[in-house]
Amino acid sequence: MAGGSRSTRVTITQIAREAGVSTSTVSKVLNGHGDVAEDTRTLVESVMRRNGYHRRPSRQRGTLVDVVLNELDSDWSLEIVRGADEVLHSAGMDMVLSVVHGRSEETRQWLDRLAARRSAGVVLVVSELSDRQRERLAAMGVPLVLVDPVGGTTEDIPTVGATNWSGGMSGTSHLIELGHRRIAHIGGPAELNCAQARADGFGTAMQRAGLTVPQEYVNHGEFNERSGYAQAQALLDLPEPPTAVFAASDLQALGAYEAMRERGLRAPDDLSVVGFDDLPLARRVSPPLTTVRQPILEMSTLATRTLLRLMDGETLENPRVELATRLVVRDSTRRVTGD
């Protein structure tokens, strides 16, 4: 679809004629008006698709760029917003910030509002659009960049992520090098690519070291503290608990801290703990958390810069980028004793 023949553009009139509707109906579909029958909307959209209809790219269509987050619940989201703000404001653009709470209904409403007010482009963070929604953006000529993409690789939409798999490898290898053998993984949502890549990195590091991982040593849940707490409780209840855990997020690692505290246990003496993210609080908690650093701010600035380039009609040589993660060793991990 991308880079299609912009020189021989079809017009709204042609779309209208082919769909057998008025130009004002086509215009309503493009602008997200609610008063178009569902059948008509589907028909018009399919005609636009068939003809490769795209609105002209969009610098001239105002100074608003949409940044869409799933949640606004931690320093992770704060860094994303900061990065986008830096780039947009130096470009003289404004950021429209939306939070969709992982609900498709809220995503739909956001997209309706976007269509009504125009947007020059979208940075979508850890969220998903249906194929239909992506096509709607494309038909409106609104370019899209994904940060930390949730789903499978999505055709030719540019993405910026972190090297989650390598990060999972290095966090786990660190524990193996400290002599740990019974290592568990506190995982994120299995349906998210980033979480699954971290879990796979963990698995590969264990396998390469010739270590077997009991099935009950690998679990999945949300990235939050409560899920980390619950998963750690289950691990500590096992007849043979692990001596170390690699958590898929810092917040989950803090949940593990909490589960240990309740039992009078403490990292790293009773359990070595590695997190993922390196949120600002990772160095402030007690003990300061060993973790795999994600360059969140850089991911966000790169994604936003990429969007500006798309808005200028540039072609990207590298539409899918992963920025390096890096192990940060602090005080929550230590050499295994006994075992």
Order of strands across the sheet with 183-187? 218-220, 183-187, 244-247, 272-277, 290-293, 326-328
**Residue 77 or 159 having the CB closest to its own copies:** 77
What are the tokens at 220? 């999945």
SS3 217: helix
d(CA 289, CA 284): 8
**Residue 116 or 324 having the CB closest to its own copies:** 116
Shortest Cβ distance from residue 108 to its own copies (Å)? 12
Selection from 66, 158, 148 nearest residue 107 by Cα: 66
Shortest Cβ distance from residue 73 to its own copies (Å)? 8
| Axis-axis angle for helices 75-90, 296-311 (nearest 10) | 40
Shortest Cβ distance from residue 127 to its own copies (Å)? 14
Shortest Cβ distance from residue 99 to its own copies (Å)? 5
Shortest Cβ distance from residue 237 to its own copies (Å)? 24
Q: Is 133 left (phi over 0), alpha (psi -120 to 50) or beta?
A: alpha
Shortest Cβ distance from residue 111 to its own copies (Å)? 12
**Residue 34 or 210 having the CB closest to its own copies:** 34
Token look-up 């809220």 returns 106
**Residue 279 or 292 having the CB closest to its own copies:** 279
Selection from 3, 83, 82, 66 nearest residue 305 by Cα: 83
**Residue 148 or 250 having the CB closest to its own copies:** 250
**Residue 59 or 82 having the CB closest to its own copies:** 82
**Residue 115 or 292 having the CB closest to its own copies:** 115
d(CA 51, CA 54): 9
- CA dist 38 → 27, 29, 55, 275 (Å): 15, 10, 22, 47
Residues that bind its own copies (CB under 8 A): 62-64, 72-75, 77-78, 81-82, 85, 89, 92, 94-99, 106, 109-110, 113, 116-117, 254, 280-281, 284-286
Amino acid identity for residue 210 in this structure: G
**Contact of 186 with 248, CB cutoff 8 Å:** yes
What are the tokens at 266? 């403490």
**Residue 97 or 213 having the CB closest to its own copies:** 97
Shortest Cβ distance from residue 98 to its own copies (Å)? 7
Shortest Cβ distance from residue 63 to its own copies (Å)? 6
Q: Which long-range contacts (CB under 8 A, 24 or more apart) does 22-29 make?
A: none
- In sequence order, the 6+-apart residues with CB closer than 8 A to the CB of 317 are none
